[in-house]
Amino acid sequence: MRIFSILIIAIISLSCKKSIAEKITPITHEPNKLVVPIGGNAWTFNGGLINKTGLSQWESSQTICKSYVYLAQAGSLKLSLLMNPNGKSNINVTINGKAIFLTAESTVEKDFMVGEWLITEKGYTAIEIQGISKTATSFGSLSAITISGSAVNESSAFVKDNIDNYFYWGRRGPSVHLNYTMSADKNIEWFYNEITVPTGNDVIGSYYMANGFAEGYFGMQVNSETERRILFSIWSPYKTDNPASIPPEFKITLNKKGNNVYSGEFGNEGAGGQSYLVYPWKAGSTYKFLTQAKPTLNNSTTYTS
């Protein structure tokens, strides 16, 4: 009986040592690691600010930074955060319902390994980052997420850099464009299209472009819970994001507009002339769009939609 007790104690002791050894085995990135910039791939809820350099003004524990990465295959996903916690910050990172706790302590920017997740199917993977507690006034700054593992390959998709202001376009949301090939031997003046937004897909902030072309775009928007618009805009050939800087000879000139149509200028994505009609279009209904582009005098073109 005494020998049996000693054997039990020995087995328990060995089992505990193995468990401790497994817990302290460090997780490191695999050679296929990719850097996902926060500035072009994340959004915040309940505070915080995201600009080209990443997440800042991260002061509230209610703030959630959410990033999306498209993974083309299932497998393991290892993840780290490139951040400066400005002291000691405790953070939760959640993927597919599994949260891993991270303590990041530094006064300079470092890459902090968080852990590993199993991705069971391909598609967009949401990464949620939330501060729990901190020693400074903020949780610090977060500039990038680094990923690696068997779920990561050359088909993994996200906004990789800010060339051509891609961070701005990436954070506006995914888009799909259908193009028409125009015959060089035909003089085409009119462009007609129809749009039916499926019921439930009229998400706030969405824009559905019916007739788009090199110089402008015509379609409909969901601007808020209570407002929707039919939008028609023409870019100035003068390259600037500030409409006030466009020389008079390159300005978009309003010839005529319909009742209740707003007209003015726009900037921050090129610049030019903008018009829109506040109109309560509905998902599930079909709307028809017609645009005319007609060369006129003085090397100009008149656009009508």
Does residue 235 contact residue 255 with C-beta atoms inside 8 Å? no
Which residues have a Cβ under 8 Å from the Cβ of 272 and sit 6 or more positions away? 216, 233, 234, 235, 236, 243, 246, 252, 265, 266
204: tokens are 């706030």
Distance CA 234, CA 293 (A): 11
Distance CA 186, CA 189 (A): 9
pLDDT of amino acid 24: 54
Radius of gyration of the chain (CA): 27
Q: What are phi and psi of 6, to 5 degrees?
A: -65, -40
Looking at residue 27, its amino acid is I
pLDDT of amino acid 10: 42
Q: What domains can you pick out in the chain, each with its CATH number?
A: 34-172 (2.60.120.260), 190-304 (no CATH)
pLDDT of amino acid 21: 37
Number of neighbouring beta carbons within 10 Å of residue 305: 20
Q: Count Cβ atoms within 10 A of the Cβ of residue 297 and give its class: 0-12 exposed, 13-18 middle, 19 or more buried.
A: exposed
275: tokens are 């018009």
Distance CA 134, CA 275 (A): 48
For every one of its 305 residues, what pLDDT tens digit does the chain have, with 9 covering 90 and above? 444 444 444 444 444 444 443 445 689 999 999 999 999 999 999 999 999 999 999 999 999 999 999 999 999 999 999 999 999 999 999 999 999 999 999 999 999 999 999 999 999 999 999 999 999 999 999 999 999 999 999 999 999 999 988 998 888 877 788 888 888 898 899 999 999 999 999 988 899 999 999 999 999 999 999 999 999 999 999 999 999 999 999 999 999 999 999 999 999 888 999 999 999 999 999 999 999 999 998 889 999 99
pLDDT of amino acid 101: 97
pLDDT of amino acid 268: 85
Does residue 144 contact residue 54 with C-beta atoms inside 8 Å? yes
Left (φ > 0), alpha (ψ -120 to 50) or beta: where does 120 sit? alpha
Looking at residue 170, its amino acid is G
**Which sign, positive or negative, has the C-alpha torsion 259, 264, 267, 272?**
positive
